[in-house]
Amino acid sequence: MINAQELFFLILLSLTIMMPVAFAQEDMVSNQKIVLIADNTAYQEGDVITITGSVEKVIPGMPISLQIFFVEKFNPSITS
């Protein structure tokens, strides 16, 4: 008959064998080079902005997002 200590080690061994194994992978996102170019340096309200660019390593299925921020007043004398 199996005693409590043997049962504990048997369960622990079973859990260890069933755990998934993770292998190191190259971090494809942090070393990614993305270049974006706008068609102009200044725009008026209502203007169409065309943005073109290139991606160094294309990752199929990787979602992307582009955020555009509007700064109402730009004062070059203010630095952080």
Contact between 60 and 43 under an 8 Å Cβ cutoff? The reply is no
The CA-to-CA distance between both ends of the chain, in Å, stands at 73
The 10s digit of each residue's pLDDT in 32-77 is 788 888 888 888 888 888 888 888 887 788 887 777 777 776 555 6
Residue 75: the pLDDT is: 59
What's the whole-number mean pLDDT along residues 21-28? 57
Task: Find the farthest-apart pair of alpha carbons in the chain and give their distance in angstroms, rounded.
Answer: 84
Domain residue ranges in the chain: 30-74
pTM: 0.41
* Alpha-helical runs (H) found in 30-69: none
| Neighbouring residues of 17: CB distance < 8 A, sequence distance ≥ 6 | none
Task: Determine how many CB atoms are found less than 10 A away from the CB of residue 38.
Answer: 13
